[in-house]
Amino acid sequence: MKKATFLLCLYSVGFLFTISSCENRKKQDETDARTNTGTSANQSKPNVLLIVVDDLGYSDLSPFGGEIRTPNIQRLADNGLIVQQCYTTPLCAPSRAMFMSGMDNHISGIGAMPPFQAASQYMQPGYEGYLNDRVMTLPEVLRENGYHTYMSGKWHLGHEEGRRPFEEGFERSFSFLGGGASHFSNSFPLGPEEVIHTVYYDDSVKVKKLPDDFYSSNYYADKMIQYITEQKDDRPFFGYLAFTAPHDPLHVPDDWMNKYKGAYDKGYDHIRQVRMDNMKKLGLIPKDLPINPGSGEYKKWNELSAQQKKVEARRMELYAAMLEIMDLDIGRVLEALQKEGKLENTMIILIGDNGANPKDPSFYKTDMKPFDNSLENMGKPNSFVSLQGAWAEVTATPYSYFKTTTGEGGVRVPLIISGKGVTIKGVDATNKILGTDIMPTLLEIAGAKRPDTYKNNKLAAMTGTSFNKLLGNKQSTVRDENAGYGIESLENKAYYKGDWKIRFLMPPFGKGRDWQLFNVKEDPREKQDLARKNPEKLQELLGGWNEYSQKVGYIPYHGGRAYSVLGPENFFKAKLDSTNKALIEKASLELQRGGE
């Protein structure tokens, strides 16, 4: 693996970054940008590199208290802004829809992550399973305003014709269309329902075979570097580097197998305490905040057998190694920018899409027979192991729960903004930033205008708010404290207003019928449900939730899962034709007779 050793000498540079776009090989792309192509205008606009980390725990990275070695990300944080309260959704695709559209996922087409739509939601507005026609994507707007646009990595926002990255505004792209897959060249899908979008595209060409030495993080970085270095003009560019690490399966190259050997032998609570201590020193959490003991859903370390401890420690060793590899690959991209003379004019945003994944491979209905998951083989190309719940809780320290839930550990994610235009440093612990805020912020920074219509379709209004002023003024307020906002995914719900939050969790982590009330400022671990003690506040926030859900077009889950009702072939037609309508109506009648 190539080392980003150049970064060790950047302590004297204020990490003002420039990202440049590459000149497209196709002639039509040379004239595709319609405005702001003059030299002086180009130089006044920053390049932007948006880095998304897949299933990242809140406290994994060193700037957020983690023990995992992430020196390049640390330097971004040291020379930029850490946002303590950044919120997305509990799942990958809805969060990415926020980033690419600037609007709530129930408006943009990912109201439910495909293929998990209910029969009641299937192909309804906001639940299409891809970015719908009410969206003009971030790369589309920037490209219309003079930017080159590049993508490398995970898409997860549509595999259908017309919905792929090269059709959604990216001038150059190497894209993985699905939610997850092997990190090696064998590219096996997570499970049978993932097969249809376990596909790679090199620009518009479907990849028949990955290179033998393919490893996801390395290759995604290679492609972004290629796009940057191939660019010959001085136009600004937007780069979207969307890693699939550390999403399961946990895979690392052979020379990384033992990089963290023994680091996790002391178990869950030891790492929790290490991270808590680090976070207190960094000013990320109150000094008197107690350790979060977890949900109680999983065995404690001292309840495990010696063999179980070895397996559990190994999971975390592999997970940590995946993150360090990714960090080094980020370093290589920064090195390429430096060599191209573009580093000082680049803004870099690094964000997680949701919390760490608690599921094991059985969640994906995977046939485990082909895999060798012995302790000695874990992490190799023919293995399929996941982090699972106990460690996923640890990665959320000090918060509760993880991916799939609306606990803070599922929806509060790391956010670092560094480089061009970021004149303040340190931790912002006051403002709440949402995933929907990224697009309006970048459009404001780029001086880019989003039209009211695009491709003869009327666009929905963006729901996000620009946080551009915050980057130069610590006293800035991004959104009114009394302006509430909601989150929902697969019936897991949350609504925030000021210091207060209501939370609704589906089984197995909740009852699926009761709302809970928390003061997140006083109780960030969400351990004290105040719903009975403060019914007035509960009702106030429930009113806010109802208003939010109506505004964004939330459709309750009803009628069973559409994938099961329709069958795979009909489901993936992505059409509410006469056949699918009849099947959904039949299922609805059967449920009415027998109860859902």
pLDDT, tens digit, 9 for 90 and up, residues 335-379: 999 999 999 999 999 999 999 999 999 999 999 999 999 999 999
Whose CA is closest to 283, among 82, 484, 136, 123? 82
List, for residues 431-459, the tens digit of each pLDDT value.
999 999 999 999 999 999 999 999 999 99
The 10 Å Cβ neighbour count of residue 478 is 20
Judge if 356 and 502 occupy the same domain.
Answer: no
Res. 8: pLDDT tops 50:
no
**DSSP structure string for 137-194:** -HHHHHHHTT-EEEEEEE--S--STT-SGGGTT-SEEEEE-SS-B-SBTT--BSSGGG
Judge if 420 and 522 occupy the same domain.
Answer: no
CA distance 363 to 3: 36
Encode 39-80 in three state secondary structure. HHHHHHCCEEEEEEECCCCCCCCHHHCCCCCCHHHHHHHHCE
CA distance 338 to 508: 48
Judge if 99 and 243 occupy the same domain.
Answer: yes
CA distance 458 to 226: 36
Please report, for the domain that includes residue 535, its CATH number. 3.30.1120.10
Please report the pLDDT score of residue 28 as a whole number. 42
Active-site amino acid positions = 92, 156
Token pair listed for 152: 């490398």
Q: Tell me which of 455, 474, 499 is where a domain ends.
A: 455
Domain that holds residue 526: 485-594
Judge if 290 and 165 occupy the same domain.
Answer: yes
CB neighbours of 349 closer than 8 A, spacing ≥ 6?
48, 49, 50, 51, 415, 416, 417, 438
Encode 530-546: b = buried (16+ Cβ within 10 Å), e = exposed: bbeeeeebbebbbebbe
Q: Tell me which of 401, 436, 455 is where a domain ends.
A: 455
CA distance 232 to 144: 19
Domain assignment present for 464 = no
CA distance 394 to 270: 10
Domain assignment present for 10 = no
Report the number of distinct structural domains present in the chain: 2
The average pLDDT across 225-230 equals: 98
Please report the pLDDT score of residue 590 as a whole number. 76
Domain assignment present for 339 = yes
Domain assignment present for 461 = no
Whose CA is closest to 500, among 530, 476, 463? 530
Are 197 and 161 in contact by the 8 Å Cβ rule? The answer is: no
Peptide bond between residue 286 and the one before it cis (omega within 30 degrees of 0): no
Token pair listed for 324: 């360090």
Domain assignment present for 143 = yes
CA distance 77 to 82: 6
The average pLDDT across 308-337 equals: 98
Beta-bridged to residue 486, according to DSSP, are 495
Res. 20: pLDDT tops 80:
no
Judge if 121 and 229 occupy the same domain.
Answer: yes
Backbone angles phi, psi at 47, to 5 degrees: -75, 160
Please report, for the domain that includes residue 151, its CATH number. 3.40.720.10
Q: Round the average pLDDT of the chain to a whole number and report it.
A: 92
Judge if 313 and 372 occupy the same domain.
Answer: yes
Judge if 112 and 167 occupy the same domain.
Answer: yes
Q: Tell me which of 455, 477, 508 is where a domain ends.
A: 455
Domain assignment present for 67 = yes
524 vs 31, residue with greater confidence: 524
Res. 31: pLDDT tops 50:
no
Judge if 248 and 125 occupy the same domain.
Answer: yes
Are 382 and 125 in contact by the 8 Å Cβ rule? The answer is: no
* 586 — pLDDT class (breaks 50, 70, 90): confident
Judge if 43 and 171 occupy the same domain.
Answer: yes
The 10 Å Cβ neighbour count of residue 265 is 14
Are 48 and 349 in contact by the 8 Å Cβ rule? The answer is: yes
Give the position of tokens 């719903």: 531
Type of residue at 551: K
CB neighbours of 576 closer than 8 A, spacing ≥ 6?
122, 123
The average pLDDT across 473-501 equals: 94
Please report the pLDDT score of residue 593 as a whole number. 67
List, for residues 164-179, the tens digit of each pLDDT value.
999 999 999 999 999 9
Please report the pLDDT score of residue 314 as a whole number. 98
Domain assignment present for 371 = yes
- Give the CA distances from residue 595 to residues 496, 558, 588, in Å, rounded to whole numbers and listed in that order: 33, 11, 10
Please report the pLDDT score of residue 417 as a whole number. 98
Judge if 539 and 398 occupy the same domain.
Answer: no
Are 137 and 227 in contact by the 8 Å Cβ rule? The answer is: no
- In 3-state terms, what secondary structure has residue 328? helix
Please report the pLDDT score of residue 94 as a whole number. 98
- In 3-state terms, what secondary structure has residue 591? helix
Judge if 200 and 273 occupy the same domain.
Answer: yes
* 43 — pLDDT class (breaks 50, 70, 90): low
CB neighbours of 217 closer than 8 A, spacing ≥ 6?
183, 243, 244, 245, 322, 325, 326, 329
pTM (2 decimals)?
Answer: 0.92
List, for residues 427-438, the tens digit of each pLDDT value.
999 999 999 999
Res. 138: pLDDT tops 70:
yes
* 553 — pLDDT class (breaks 50, 70, 90): very high
* 474 — pLDDT class (breaks 50, 70, 90): confident
CA distance 345 to 343: 6
> Which secondary-structure segment (H or E) carries 318?
helix 306-339
Please report the pLDDT score of residue 27 as a whole number. 39
The 10 Å Cβ neighbour count of residue 398 is 23
The average pLDDT across 577-596 equals: 80
**Neighbour-count burial of 279, counting CB atoms closer than 10 A to its CB (0-12 exposed, 13-18 middle, 19+ buried):** buried
Percentage of residues of the chain with pLDDT beyond 70: 92
Domain assignment present for 556 = yes
Lowest mean pLDDT among 53-67, 240-254, 570-584: 570-584
Please report the pLDDT score of residue 5 as a whole number. 41
List, for residues 83-126, the tens digit of each pLDDT value.
999 999 999 999 999 999 999 999 999 999 999 999 999 999 99
Judge if 451 and 489 occupy the same domain.
Answer: no
Please report the pLDDT score of residue 595 as a whole number. 53
Backbone angles phi, psi at 177, to 5 degrees: -80, -20
435 vs 20, residue with greater confidence: 435
